[in-house]
Amino acid sequence: MNTRLKRILILNIPYLFLALFFTKVSQAWRLAFGYDIGQKVHF
């Protein structure tokens, strides 16, 4: 692996983690019970 490719990968890792985090949050929101925000947020 050359240094240019390694640098590009290292600089884009935070964006990958953000994308994974927000996809998991949106999936949890869709699967949560309740019809409105009050019922979904309340445990």
For 2-39, write each residue's pLDDT tens digit.
999 999 999 999 999 999 999 999 998 888 887 777 77
pLDDT at 12: 96
Residue 43 has pLDDT above 70, yes or no: no
pLDDT at 7: 95
Distance CA 43, CA 20 (A): 24
Q: Are 7 and 1 in contact (CB under 8 A)?
A: no
pLDDT at 9: 92
Strand ranges (E), the chain: none
- The pTM of the full predicted model, rounded to 2 decimals, is 0.64
